[in-house]
Structure 1
Amino acid sequence: MTQPLRVIFAGTPDFAADNLAALLASQHDVIAVYTQPDRPAGRGRKLTPSPVKVLAQKHGIEVFQPSSLKGEGEQQALAALDADIMVVVAYGLLLPQAVLDIPRLGCINVHASLLPRWRGAAPIQRAIEAGDTQSGVTIMQMDAGLDTGDMLMIRTTPITKTTTGGELHDTLAKLGAEALIETLDALTAGGLAPTPQPEAGATYAAKLSKAEAELDFHQDASALAARVHAFNPWPVTWCALGDDRLRIHLAHVLDDGEATVPGTLVSHQGGLIVACGKEGRERLAITHAQLPGGKALPVSELLRSRADRFPIGSTFGHPQADGKANTEAPS
């Protein structure tokens, strides 16, 4: 067995907690955890600790929650931990160069994309939305840029036409955790050579917003289906249904039909079949949806109980002369 590393772990959401769990089960020694400050959550807006903090406290690990690492005092506190390496996974704070330089082996990041594609905040969802057929994780030696550091290890996984954002998240969390331990073990043994990222093919994965989850049925069916899957389980795509909002959880593309006004419900055969595309010839089959105040259900169940809400010929969404959907989601 190689000599264990003294590790500082920095992360916040469930994806990071999965990586921390793998690290805690490894030979390496987690000496401290950094995570975002507790945030209001739920209907009561109660201050809630991050999944990483909950896991760290369960294992008796000291937790630090600074709002920034730019101050000299915070940097001195981190340096006093005398870590060999800092592992960063979806932490949510930028690390200044002074922090990157503190651990003996620097700072490494587990990033949920095949860099340089999808640098930034939402690589999992943007890969599905763009129709990528492959994703993965990159273990990266961090530098001062945004996900621009040298690559230490890459692991890949396919994206299918039915892969959702939640499913890919869970796959990559497991894949990333495995690759992280392999990377730390290899660094301990001194047998891992960094590879510079190519600039060709670099893309930016912008943070998700609720506003962009509204479906515009003037778009191609394939683009709509990809967005439905990418935004499942959050923020969940939706469209107007009269004065209400129909949340759409799963959908797929069907063969083209006759030209119809985009957004028109043309059939109940196999789901809610909606005309889409510029000429309304394409068809999107919505198979899992959610009415206000209800649960997400297969459309077959919705039609049995609430067929009155889905008459053939009704219009989904807000018809727009310019083919653009509204930019603000209803409250």
Structure 2
Amino acid sequence: MRVVFAGTPEAAVPTLEALVASRHDVVAVITRPDAPAGRGRTLTPSPVALAAEAHGIEVLKPAKPSDPDFMARLRDLNPGCVPIVAYGALIRREALDIPEYGWVNLHFSVLPAWRGAAPVQRAIMAGDEVTGATVFSLVEELDAGPTLGTITELIRDDDTAETLLVRLADWGSKLLVDVIDHIEDGDISAIPQPDENISYAHKLTTEDGRIDWNRPAFAINRHVRGCTPAPGAWTTFADQRLKIGPPRIAEERTLTSGKLGISKREIRVGTTTTDVILGDVQPIGKKLMPAADWARGTSVPDDSSFE
């Protein structure tokens, strides 16, 4: 089948690579326009654009997917299907109707749970034990189309949003190619999503990363892991923001909420249950460092608390 792939971030690259290696013909790639990156804010192609160029595939970068020139080119390409992963823009009905088999989306949750922009982060932060990936037919309503395939994946105790997304992107790429195979073979049917148990994964902001120490250790641990690497979990100390890396959960409670327990080898913080033991931290303008090194370098008083 002739396909045009739509995607932008690194998490979409495994699916592009899987499609290139499949029996299908990737005739073009749609991705977001080049964006400023790095300290110099140099305009940089997306990871998907770079991967497509390495394969010699035509890259389309419309400012909006409703642009007339882009729509005309998509019609000229005449794809049977447009698989899409984390493209980053809404697709309107006119574009959805161009390919014979529509747009087929890979979403990193078990729908209808966690529709929206941050499904992996929200699943970890909510304390979910299991998540997954779903392939569905794209419709104009957010992540609401009928499903074509699903996989599940355990959320591990040491997972961050980054590590979990890497696994889901890998397994999900195989699922999406398998679905496209069956669409071409004509032996797959879409199943409407249920109307109950719908949840939404709204995009995380910097403020969402703030840690509330008046929560149980498990919830704080999951909050930090869900915000790692972006937008980053943080707290304040002496009126300065301090980025917090994934902590460990202690077996006992020795401190009240937010209180610091400082020793040569570790830094503990109190919660409403057991303490958490800090891993790496990052003060503003400095590199990531072990929490104990930060405490020594900052001369943190023994009776200190996070705010």
Q: Which residue of 2 aligns with 1:295?
A: 287
Q: Are 1:252 and 1:285, in contact at CA under 8 Å, matched by a contact in 2?
A: yes
* Deviations 1:58-84, CA, capped at 9 Å, x for gaps: 111111111212244432221111111
Change in CA separation of 1:300 and 1:10 when aligned onto 2, cut-off 3 Å: same
* 1:120-139 matches, cutoff 5 A: 120-139=116-135
1:312 partner letter: D
Report which stretch shifted further, 178-187 or 306-315: 306-315
Q: Secondary structure at the match of 1:155?
A: strand
Q: Are 1:215 and 1:224, in contact at CA under 8 Å, matched by a contact in 2?
A: yes
How far off its partner does 1:221 sit?
2.2
* 1:248-259 matches, cutoff 5 A: 248-255=244-251, 257=253
Q: Are 2:255 and 2:261, in contact at CA under 8 Å, matched by a contact in 1?
A: no
Q: Are 1:270 and 1:287, in contact at CA under 8 Å, matched by a contact in 2?
A: no
Match of 1:20 among 6, 12, 16: 16
* Distance in 2 (alpha carbons) for counterparts of 1:214 and 1:122: 17
How far off its partner does 1:298 sit?
3.8
Match of 1:265 among 239, 260, 264: 260
1:179 aligns with 2:171: no
* Deviations 1:176-207, CA, capped at 9 Å, x for gaps: 11111111111121111211111211101011
* Distance in 2 (alpha carbons) for counterparts of 1:311 and 1:67: 53
* Distance in 2 (alpha carbons) for counterparts of 1:72 and 1:259: 62
* Distance in 2 (alpha carbons) for counterparts of 1:172 and 1:270: 35
Change in CA separation of 1:194 and 1:252 when aligned onto 2, cut-off 3 Å: same
* 1:203-214 matches, cutoff 5 A: 203-214=199-210
Q: Which residue of 2 aligns with 1:152?
A: 148
Q: Are 2:255 and 2:275, in contact at CA under 8 Å, matched by a contact in 1?
A: no
Q: Secondary structure at the match of 1:26?
A: coil
Report which stretch shifted further, 179-188 or 289-298: 289-298
Change in CA separation of 1:19 and 1:235 when aligned onto 2, cut-off 3 Å: same
How far off its partner does 1:119 sit?
0.3
How far off its partner does 1:293 sit?
4.2
TM-score normalized by the length of structure 2: 0.93
* 1:221-236 matches, cutoff 5 A: 221-236=217-232
How far off its partner does 1:244 sit?
3.1
Pairs aligned (count): 307
Q: Which residue of 1 aligns with 2:277?
A: 285
1:311 partner letter: P
Q: Which residue of 2 aligns with 1:327?
A: none
Report which stretch shifted further, 188-197 or 29-38: 188-197
* Deviations 1:80-124, CA, capped at 9 Å, x for gaps: 111110011100111111111110111100100000000000001
* 1:95-114 matches, cutoff 5 A: 95-114=91-110
Report which stretch shifted further, 266-275 or 150-159: 266-275
Q: Secondary structure at the match of 2:246?
A: strand
Q: Are 1:253 and 1:284, in contact at CA under 8 Å, matched by a contact in 2?
A: yes
* Distance in 2 (alpha carbons) for counterparts of 1:90 and 1:285: 35
How far off its partner does 1:307 sit?
5.8
Q: Secondary structure at the match of 2:278?
A: strand
1:207 partner letter: K
Change in CA separation of 1:99 and 1:299 when aligned onto 2, cut-off 3 Å: same
1:80 partner letter: D
Unaligned runs of 5+ in 1: 318-331
Q: Are 2:269 and 2:276, in contact at CA under 8 Å, matched by a contact in 1?
A: yes
Q: Percent identity?
A: 38
Q: Are 1:265 and 1:311, in contact at CA under 8 Å, matched by a contact in 2?
A: no
How far off its partner does 1:270 sit?
6.7
Q: Are 1:270 and 1:285, in contact at CA under 8 Å, matched by a contact in 2?
A: no
1:202 aligns with 2:198: yes
Report which stretch shifted further, 306-315 or 237-246: 306-315
* Distance in 2 (alpha carbons) for counterparts of 1:215 and 1:21: 38
Change in CA separation of 1:266 and 1:300 when aligned onto 2, cut-off 3 Å: closer
Change in CA separation of 1:269 and 1:157 when aligned onto 2, cut-off 3 Å: farther
How far off its partner does 1:252 sit?
2.9
Q: Are 1:247 and 1:290, in contact at CA under 8 Å, matched by a contact in 2?
A: yes
1:115 partner letter: L
1:41 partner letter: A
Q: Secondary structure at the match of 2:187?
A: coil
How far off its partner does 1:311 sit?
3.5
Match of 1:193 among 189, 201, 226: 189
* Distance in 2 (alpha carbons) for counterparts of 1:209 and 1:309: 31
